Homo-oligomer: A and B are copies of this chain.
Amino acid sequence: MSMAEETAGTEASPWGEVTPDAARRLLLAAVEAFAERGYHATTTRDIAGRAGMSPAALYIHYKTKEELLHRISRIGHEKALDILRTAARAEGSPAERLAEAVSSFVRWHAGGRTTARVVQYELDSLGPEARAEILALRRQVDAEVRGIIEEGVASGEFDVPDVQGTTLAVLSLCIDVARWFNVDGPRTPEEVGALYADLVLRMVGAGEPSGTAQR
């Protein structure tokens, strides 16, 4: 059980960059509230209440409720992109890097489901210019995964008729984890990550014949 724990478990880690302390507490409260009820069903009074402050305190640190969502979304997407970049640029074969990319990306979505839910599903609640900024980050996410798959195809290691379609499917699989994963469920983020990495290797035609995943 001495696995990497940079992304799994506690979700507080990525928000260390947010200062001052009150602003971070408000952001964390907003993440929880948005994940539970959705952006539009969350009130500024609810966010401030969770952070132990009065409703007006929110507007000292953030101009609007939407700015909170924007900040959460940008930081979350940057973290997701960072996870994929690290895996994509590591040493190893395309299959090894794709497996590591998928398993770490899935671990992030499962372990930090609260954050991932907001990041992946509340995009439409942003205004046009904020959404455009986030969509640019999403295209970079897509490009990282596509890059690994293209390398595997070029080296003959993968057998993929439709690279862009398969890229979409791989990301789809990972992202949807944030929708269904249940912390109280029977699976740990690590187990889901390992299972999904195996399934993705099969999708690109690089799966081991059998027996890598247990259960």
Q: Could you say which of A23-31, A58-66, A81-89, A171-179 contacts chain B?
A: A171-179
Total A residues in contact with B, Cβ cutoff 8 Å: 38
Q: Could you say which of A5-13, A67-75, A192-200 contacts chain B?
A: A192-200
Nearest Cβ distance between residue A190 and chain B, in whole angstroms?
A: 13
Indicate with 1 or 0, residue by residue over A153-179, a CB within 8 angstroms of chain B CB atoms. Answer: 000000101100110110011011101
A205 at the interface (CB under 8 A from B): yes
Chain A binding surface, main DSSP class: helix
Q: List 28 A-B contacts (CB under 8 A).
A: A38-B38, A38-B124, A40-B41, A41-B125, A121-B121, A159-B209, A159-B210, A161-B212, A161-B214, A162-B195, A162-B213, A165-B192, A165-B213, A166-B195, A166-B199, A168-B180, A169-B199, A172-B173, A172-B177, A172-B180, A173-B173, A175-B176, A175-B179, A176-B179, A199-B203, A202-B207, A203-B203, A205-B207
